[in-house]
């Protein structure tokens, strides 16, 4: 495959001499040496992209692959059967972002939106802008039944963003603090924290301080999450904007209820990337979680 890609690309260079939680997800409502070197590098990128369903996913520089094209939900699907959060939720592309809410709004019916492709070891970047009151999450090595390692995006009072939770597995929880809102009338103006714990007490190698998180988080704006997942019993590191939030080691974690063998039996060593609309009455009617600029680099 690499050889064929190289031949096609060499021909292009020489001939042109020129150096880019709905079931209907695809349409939701709503020769010189220098040229040879360039061709070889591009062919390597194509060889990698061919493993990531090239029709749905676009290649980017340095091994990064775009998971969302900003136009439609090609390459994604909702949970095919009802799970604990619901039948799937309502997902649409709005102004170049993925927007999720309950289906219908305020009904308690949520779900997850998953990539068709599965990933094992990877680094992921994703922009997020949840409305206040939303209980969402970023699913890592997830499956269609809603089980995963989850980076919490519980953007509400007594919530948490950035720590790791065992969704649909053993329910282990590594949060070292809760977030709560500061308000001017009904408008959210900032965050404060409580229920502080040490990283070692929740089974983490590292956690940022509550003060660091509050300083890094941009209220009412887009925030960028970066997550690195690597290993059979994965080491998971999360960042929000430029702040390292936590480091979890699945090989050695002492988190309450964490059982590495049981979780591996449920999840295996690879799975989908997914985003969540939590089921139940806690999700405010009409509130949405929004996601954009989603890219992954297999490791």
Model pLDDT for residues 248-290, shown as the tens digit of each residue: 999 999 999 999 999 999 999 999 999 999 999 999 999 999 9
pLDDT tens for each residue of 123-162:
999 999 999 999 999 999 999 999 999 999 999 999 999 9
pLDDT of residue 56: 52
What percent of the chain shows pLDDT beyond 70? Answer: 80
pLDDT of residue 58: 55
Three-state DSSP class for residue 139: strand
- Predicted TM-score (pTM) of the model is 0.81
298: tokens are 């297999």
pLDDT of residue 220: 97
Q: SS in 3 state form for 240-277? A: ECCEEEEEEECCCCCCCCCCHHHHHHHHCCCEEEEEEE
Contacts of 24 (CB under 8 A, 6+ apart): none
pLDDT of residue 21: 30
pLDDT tens for each residue of 30-45:
434 344 444 444 444 4
207: tokens are 């956690």
Enumerate long-range contacts of 254-257, CB under 8 Å, 24 or more apart: 254/200, 254/203, 255/172, 255/173, 255/174, 255/202, 255/203, 255/204, 256/172, 256/173, 256/202, 256/203, 257/166, 257/170, 257/171, 257/172, 257/173
pLDDT of residue 62: 84
What percent of the chain shows pLDDT beyond 90? Answer: 79
DSSP 8-class letter at 23: -
Architecture in CATH for domain 70-298: Sandwich (2.60)
Instruction: Categorize the per-residue pLDDT at 10 as very low, low, confident or very high, splitting at 50, 70 and 90.
Output: very low
């Amino acid at each position: 495959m690499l050889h064929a890609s190289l031949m096609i690309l060499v021909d292009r260079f020489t001939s042109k001499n020129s150096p880019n939680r709905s079931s209907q997800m695809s349409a939701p409502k709503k020769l010189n040496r220098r040229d040879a070197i360039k061709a070889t590098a591009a062919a390597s990128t194509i060889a990698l992209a061919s493993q990531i369903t090239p029709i749905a996913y676009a290649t980017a520089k340095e091994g990064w692959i775009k998971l969302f094209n900003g136009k439609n939900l090609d390459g994604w699907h909702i949970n095919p059967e009802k799970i604990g959060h619901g039948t799937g939720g309502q997902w649409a592309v709005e102004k170049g972002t993925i927007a999720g809410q309950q289906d219908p709004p305020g009904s308690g019916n949520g779900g997850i939106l998953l990539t068709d492709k599965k990933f094992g070891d990877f680094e992921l970047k994703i922009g997020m802008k949840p409305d206040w009151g939303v209980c969402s999450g970023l699913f890592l090595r997830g499956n269609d039944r809603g089980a995963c390692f989850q980076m919490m995006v519980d953007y509400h009072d007594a919530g948490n963003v950035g720590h790791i939770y065992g969704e649909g597995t053993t329910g282990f929880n590594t949060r070292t603090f809760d977030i709560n809102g500061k308000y001017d009338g009904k408008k959210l103006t900032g965050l404060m924290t409580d229920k502080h714990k040490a990283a070692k007490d929740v089974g983490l190698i590292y956690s940022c301080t509550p003060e660091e998180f509050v300083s890094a988080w941009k209220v009412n704006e887009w925030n960028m999450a970066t997550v690195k997942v690597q290993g059979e019993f994965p080491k998971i590191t999360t960042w929000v904007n430029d702040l390292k939030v936590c480091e979890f080691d699945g090989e050695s974690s002492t988190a309450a209820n964490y059982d590495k063998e049981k979780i591996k039996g449920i999840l295996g060593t690879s799975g989908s990337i997914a985003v969540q609309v939590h089921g139940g009455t806690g999700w405010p009617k009409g509130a949405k979680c929004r996601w954009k600029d989603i890219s992954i680099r297999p490791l």
